[in-house]
Amino acid sequence: MKYIDEYRDQNAAQKYLSAIKKITTQPWTIMEICGGQTHAIVRYGIEDLLPDEITLVHGPGCPVCVTPIDKIDKALAIAARANVIFCSFGDMLRVPGSSKDLLTVRAEGGNVQTVYSPLDAVQIARDNPDKEVVFFAVGFETTAPANAMAVFQAKEMGLKNFFLLVSHVLVPPAMESILSNPECRVQGFLAAGHVCAVMGIKAYEPIAARYKVPIVATGFEPLDILQGLYMCVKQLEENRYQVENQYIRAVAEQGNRPAQELISKVFQIIPRQWRGIGEIPQSGWGLSKEYAAFDAERHFVIEDVSTNEDDLCISGLIMQGLKKPAQCPQFGKGCTPDHALGAPMVSTEGACAAYFKYKNTVAV
Amino acid sequence: MSKVKISNMECPIPLDDYKYVMMAHGSGGRMMGRLIDEMFLAVFTDVQPQDSAILNVPQGKIAMTTDSFVVRPLFFPGGDIGSLAVNGTVNDLAMCGARPQYLSVSFILEEGLAMETLWRVIQSMHKAADVANVTIVTGDTKVVERGHGDGLYINTTGIGVLEHGHNITPEQVKAGDMVILSGDIGRHGIAVMAEREGLSLRCNIESDCAPLFAPVQALLDAGLVPHALRDATRGGVATVLNEIATAAGLQINVSESTIHVEEGVRGVCEILGFDPLHIANEGCFIAFVAAEDHVLALDILRKHNKKASLIGTVSEGKPGRVTIETSIGGVRILDMPAGELLPRIC
């Protein structure tokens, strides 16, 4: 398949692997930001092919994993209401809240629908004027343009029965939070290619300079990742710390301007809780004043949900690169995809799910 | 075998004004009698009139299996609930090396189902049974209230005849066996999902729904006895490999590049974040054969489906483990899917 097979070619991969081996003279710890990259790394067995000196740690870039539990509990409360059609990407349905997940709400009679695009939810709202339609708008900068477009269109259409439950998060503040932790051992980053495709790569320059870390905007195919790693290791070995772009076929330096304009119209920057990590200032998007009427949290009066996070889950440490999934005592024992304690075990982008699915590593 | 030509037959109901299934069609009265006589028996001409079918069976062993079909939508590219209900059960018999011979058919109809829809399903079942060379000998009909069913559910039970003395079960799989996949994968699951979810695909992906006894018989006729056979239905190839590795207490190692996946199926899987190895099929199976038989077995299976392929081997290794060599040369675990397949966020 065009644009896929070229990036999964064994010969080309071998070339990059030997090139990485050739330039590596000392141990390096590199974090890939995005859960999609984590899955590619584990799915293609990349870690085992790399030189022993290189350690990959897995970043917080799994939107499902970092969505705070109180937001999930609110989603569960809204979805259970009689007059609501609750729309979500499939990924969110299995994520455990304090006591259940959206699949359980559906089984109990809630109208929970999987959609492939937020615009599908807008259409559902048009088709069901007597229902209140809520879309669970989670994600990083990647999903923000489509979510913003949904609200934008809903407003243009004059829809009064469409709402977003927003839990948007931003990559650069999370990177700063990771780097400012005294225990941080990350020396270089593979930045999330699709986030950069929307926002560009400029925002990473102050981070690279301030913390002296190379940052390489990287794609998601195995060869993208090998090339990104090569570029990152090369910088580390040469004691450089610049922002580079591996994913040139998708990422322009300035990003996607029309998408950015739409986002800044619909959303505003706010502090945001990250599940397992805590509050990070200026790290999220909420609806702007102009679009506040579409905010599900404003429209639905939800009594304070008392959250109950399982304290056995160490997802925060994993998503900050401080632990690997197999270092969690619950991994594969108390926590499996069929009975998860935390979101990274059920999300298709979660690091724990990747390890369980592709490595089947047992807890150490 | 039914000899009735039905292709040009008009739906015999509505005979009066019954365009839709009514509760009375399941109540045992005159309306039900007409439904059975004029719809079911008009097509399934080998159904016996008494309460149970009396069957001729040969000396030796027979195989029996049952399966229920609740697919939504009822019609999808490449098949429908009727052809699925025939082939699904026929294939379960074939996977034991049994020649499918008789089927029972039970319908659960939802009040309000269009008679035309039921008629199309019945015709499709008749055609599928003809192709699979199996006779529908008995059946049942129930009607449930509107809102208590998805239009139509079907259960089929099948009886097949073992014309050989071999035991084809996962326990027979041995270290050193070769693993052959009989065709390309993922089409059924993606065709049904695309139809159900209204994905507007530009490519036309059709279900692979088909009967599978013919290739099995060809293997047996050539004197090849597969150690195990399993059709890769729900949970896909990954699930079958894991089930057999566990049942046999052996490790299975396969190679990703040997598994055929149609471009359209690959594309949908890439976009939605699915692994084609987790997607359901209704017309392909995995055969475990002795190493010395694999060349001939592959030759025979390729005559039935050009995309049949040697995908891996069985080793002592770690019991129950399935590994897959990836396209770039790495090796990973191939696990069963967890829960229902859900499309990803980004």
B93 and B61 within one domain: yes
* Total domains present in chain B: 2
Q: Are residues B240 and B261 in the same domain?
A: yes
Task: Give which of A184, A303, A181, A200 is closest to A256, Cα–Cα.
Answer: A200
Task: Please calculate the CA angle B8-B13-B15 and round it to the nearest 5 degrees.
Answer: 120
pLDDT at residue B271 in the model: 86
Yes or no, beta carbons of A91 and B342 under 8 Å apart: yes
Nearest to A49 among B270, B330, B333 (CB): B330
Residue of chain B whose Cα is closest to the Cα of A141: B346
Distance in Å, alpha carbon of B344 to nearest chain A alpha carbon: 5
Instruction: Tally C-beta pairs within 8 A across A and B.
Output: 103
Tally of CB atoms within 10 A around B92: 23
Domains of chain A, first to last? 5-64+171-245 (3.40.50.11750), 315-359 (no CATH)
What's the mean per-residue pLDDT of chain B?
Answer: 92
Chain B residue whose CA is closest to A88 = B345
B18 is a domain residue: no
Q: Is the backbone peptide bond immediately before B14 cis, with ω within 30 degrees of 0?
A: yes
User: Is the CB of residue B328 less than 8 Å away from at least one CB of chain A?
Assistant: yes
Residue B341 forms part of a structural domain: no
A54-75 tens-digit pLDDT:
999 999 999 989 999 999 999 9
Query: Percentage of chain B surpassing pLDDT 70?
Result: 94
Find the CATH number of the domain harbouring B119: 3.30.1330.10
Give B331→chain A minimum CA distance, Å: 5
- Mean pLDDT (whole number) for B56-68: 92
Statement to judge: residues B327 and B195 lie in one domain: yes
Same domain flag for B210 and B291: yes
Last residue within a domain, chosen from B104, B139, B161: B161
Partner residue facing B329 (CB), from A10, A63, A337: A10
Question: Which one is predicted more confidently, A141 or B56?
Answer: A141
pLDDT computed for residue B6 by the predictor: 47
Residue B5's pLDDT is what?
A: 44
Residue of chain B whose alpha carbon sits nearest to that of A355:
B333
Per-residue tokens: B314 = 């069985």
Q: Domain with B279 in it: what CATH number?
A: 3.90.650.10
Task: Tell me which chain B residue has its CA closest to the CA of residue A39.
Answer: B273
Nearest-CA neighbor of A35 among B166, B344, B12? B344
The question of ipTM being above 0.95 is answered as: no
Q: Listing from the earlier edge strand, what are the strands of the sheet with B152-161?
A: B62-69, B152-161, B99-110, B135-144
Contacting residues of B for A4, CB less than 8 Å apart:
266, 270
The pLDDT value recorded for residue B16 is 57
> Residue B338: which of A114, A138, A338 has the nearest Cβ?
A338
What are the angstrom distances between the C-alpha of A238 and each of A209, A211, A225, A235, B76? 15, 16, 20, 5, 58
Q: Does B200 contact chain A (CB < 8 Å)?
A: no
- Write down which residue in B144, B161, B178 finishes a domain: B161
* Cβ-nearest to A337 among B338, B343, B346: B338
Residue segments in chain A with a per-residue pLDDT below the cut of 70:
304, 360-364
- Classify residue B298: in a domain, yes or no: yes
Which residues on adjacent β-strands are paired with residue A86?
A112, A134
Q: Name the band, by pLDDT with cuts 50, 70 and 90, for residue B345.
A: low
Query: Is the pLDDT score of B229 beyond 80?
Result: yes
**Is B327 among the domain residues?**
yes
Enumerate the β-bridge partners of residue A269.
Answer: A285
**Which residue type is seen at B312?**
G
Between A359 and B217, where is the model more confident? Answer: B217
pLDDT of residue B4: 39
One domain for residues B150 and B235: no
Domain shared by B184 and B147, yes or no: no
Q: Cβ–Cβ of A46/B321 closer than 8 Å? A: no
Tell me if B83 is assigned to some domain: yes
Confidence at B13, pLDDT banded by 50, 70, 90: low
| pLDDT score at B52 | 93
Domain span including residue B157: 23-161
Higher local confidence (pLDDT), B203 or A316: A316
The alpha-carbon gap from B297 to the nearest alpha carbon of chain A, in Å, equals 29
Q: Rounded to an integer, what distance in angstroms lies between the CA atom of residue A151 and that of residue A164?
A: 8
Average pLDDT score over residue span B257-286: 94
* B92 and B194 together in one domain: no
In a domain, B342, yes or no: no
- The predicted structure's pLDDT at residue B341: 72
Identify whether B319 is part of a domain: yes
Amino acid at A291: Y
Instruction: Report phi then psi at A320, rounded to 5.
Output: -100, 5
**Partners of residue B329 in chain A, C-beta under 8 Å:** 10, 13-14, 45, 49
- Kindly state whether residues B148 and B296 are assigned to the same domain: no
B197 pLDDT band, cuts 50/70/90, is confident
Q: Among B142, B161, B180, where does a domain finish?
A: B161
